[in-house]
Amino acid sequence: MKYQSIFRPDLFGGQSVIVTGGGSGIGRCIAHEFAALGATVILASRDPLKLTSVQNEITEDGGRAYSVVCNIRDESDVQRLFEETLRLTQRIDHVVNNAGGQFMSRPESISLKGWDAVLETNLTGTFLMCRAAYKNWMKDHGGTIVNIVADFWNGMPLMAHTGAARAGVVNLTQSLALAWVEQGVRVNSVAPGIIRSSGLTKYPPMVQQALKEMVKELPTKRLGTESEVSAAVVFLSSPAASYITGETMRVDGASSFYRQMMPIGDHKNFPRFEGFHRQANVPEDL
């Protein structure tokens, strides 16, 4: 079987795309769909074994893929990735900044080292990739960039570091979309909700059990799929999205404006301020 994309098979024929974090999870799925649609895919991550595995999968399915080991937090590594991509494909039409990372922790327990590591990966790494895409190819040829962020709109009390970083990426997306619009560079973001992906298996059993319970609270009553996120990325990279830039598309089944990941227990620690001396006819029990 081949990837069951809803887009036409030659949509990205003759084009190339870099997918960071392409060795697993959502990035792996995105890479497969782009390859199925005719693109030459450059897989990038820090794990050569995972990259080789996905590259082989794509080749077995009849697609074209290369892999480049890259730490997106390292400026010289990022530059090498783009130089190697140009050597292999002679062009860089699309970049998908999917690589990221975080860990669960209450904010007061996050060390400075942990904070810096998450911001450097998710925010600084994304900036380095975007800047390199522009300077190495898109300034003169145009192109698309899609940044993968997260569902942070209701706050992320158990992952404040990644919430801050991803919010920064959304603003960066808007800023770059305006800065580079004259060069024909479109920059957008995709914000997945809780996705049924291999990334979930990295969390401890207690968290995985909590996620199973949380499904009952989601409006859709199910988690999202990797291919649902990938389809949004492909759409934003396609000519059909030619009038869309600076946007963040939520792929979250309405969860971003419905539920909170960390329930708040009962307490009476926020006393009212009642400054209106003529207040009347208000419910006493609310």
Give the mean pLDDT of the chain: 89
* Highest-scoring range by mean pLDDT, 97-111, 220-234, 238-252: 238-252
In CATH, the number for domain 16-253 is: 3.40.50.720
For residue 276, the model assigns a pLDDT of: 45
Higher pLDDT residue, 25 or 213? 25
For residue 209, the model assigns a pLDDT of: 76
Q: Does residue 32 surpass a pLDDT of 70?
A: yes
Domain-wise residue ranges, the chain: 16-253
φ, ψ (nearest 5 deg) of residue 196: -75, 85
For residue 278, the model assigns a pLDDT of: 45
pLDDT-based confidence at residue 260 (cuts at 50, 70, 90): low
pLDDT-based confidence at residue 87 (cuts at 50, 70, 90): very high
Q: pLDDT tens digits, residue range 179-234?
A: 999 999 999 999 998 888 877 777 777 777 777 777 777 788 888 889 999 999 99
pTM: 0.90
φ, ψ (nearest 5 deg) of residue 171: -70, -40
Average pLDDT for residues 256-269, to the nearest whole number? Answer: 70
- Which range (56-70, 87-101, 153-167, 263-277) has the least confidence? 263-277
Q: pLDDT tens digits, residue range 110-145?
A: 899 998 998 999 999 999 999 999 999 999 999 999
For residue 219, the model assigns a pLDDT of: 82
Q: Does residue 170 surpass a pLDDT of 70?
A: yes
Q: Does residue 285 surpass a pLDDT of 90?
A: no
For residue 261, the model assigns a pLDDT of: 59
Q: Does residue 23 surpass a pLDDT of 70?
A: yes
For residue 159, the model assigns a pLDDT of: 80
Q: Does residue 22 surpass a pLDDT of 90?
A: yes
* C-beta atoms surrounding 119 within 10 Å: 18
- Which range (60-74, 102-116, 261-275) has the least confidence? 261-275
